[in-house]
Amino acid sequence: MARTKSFDPAQVLHQAMLLFWREGFRQLSLENLVQKLGVNRYSLYQTFGNKQEFFQQALVLYTDTVFNRLLLPLQEQQGKTAIVAYFRLLQRQLQNDQASAGCMLLNASLNAGQLSEESLNLIKASLRRQEESLKKALQQAMANNELNRPRDPLTASRFLASQVHAMVLLRQNAGKKRVHDVLEFMIAELEAW
């Protein structure tokens, strides 16, 4: 009866996610998407909806496969160990080439005016989850007497989240080596907490 799709939607969405991640919603034109994905314009509309909806699906995929995966050490380990493991995993991820595109969530939130309400909500929820995970680990660390001096867990978790954002931002403007050195420095500071 029906002709089959000549492309795999999941694979195309993954490629589109990498493109949206690097170029941003507004900068990446549909013309570019058609060319770089090798998929017909109209097929993209039929499969993924309009550009906003397409971006939203890419954002969800990014959150699931990149952002949340990075948070795993904070859920699998305890206290200060978990926090250091989180930064170590970040260190490894930032050495990937695609990390030079920064964080898709942060990039998107800086261009909030272009996004749908739905996308903004997803971004906010993800960043809050990051902060919450850090706060929980910090509370454990303090309960275990793992810190040299007491710190307010809420403010400290926001501080640490900011540190992560700073490293991701640095990766967008600088080379791998500089990021590696600064992040090692940061981990050393954290070990001395």
Which residues in this chain contact DNA in the complex, by CB under 7 A? 1-7, 26, 28-31, 39-43, 45-47, 50-52
In the window 19-38, what residues touch a second copy (CB under 8 A)? 26-27
Q: Find out whether 184 and 163 touch, Cβ atoms under 8 Å.
A: no
Cα 66 from chain centroid? 6
Q: Which does 172 bind (CB under 5 to 8 A by kind): DNA, a second copy, none?
A: a second copy
Residue 70 near a second copy by CB under 8 A: no
Q: Is 139 exposed, middle or buried (0-12, 13-18, 19+ CB in 10 A)?
A: middle
Cα separation, 88 vs 82, in Å, equals 10
When the beta carbons of 43 and 77 are compared against DNA, the nearer one is 43
- Choice between 28 and 164, CB closer to DNA: 28
Q: Return the number of the residue (41 or 124) whose C-beta is nearest DNA.
A: 41
CB of 119 to a second copy, least distance (A): 14
Residue 4 interface partner, choices DNA, a second copy, none, CB cut-off 5-8 Å depending on type: DNA
Instruction: State the sign of the Cα–Cα–Cα–Cα dihedral 62, 30, 28, 119.
Output: negative
Task: Specify whether the CB–CB gap between 56 and 155 falls below 8 A.
Answer: no
State how far the Cα of 92 lies from the Cα of 96, in Å rounded to an integer. 7
Applying CB under 8 A, does 69 fall inside the site for a second copy? no
Q: Could you give the string, one character per residue 96-125, with x where binding to a second copy holds by CB under 8 A and - elsewhere?
A: ------x---xx-xxx-xx-----------
d(CA 74, CA 157): 12
Shortest distance in whole angstroms from residue 114 CB to DNA: 10
Handedness of CA 151, 132, 164, 25 (dihedral sign): negative
Rounded CA separation 160/31 (Å): 39
Query: Applying CB under 8 A, which residues contact a second copy?
Result: 26-27, 102, 106-107, 109-111, 113-114, 127, 151-152, 155-156, 158-159, 162-163, 165-167, 169-170, 172-173, 178, 181-182, 185-186, 189
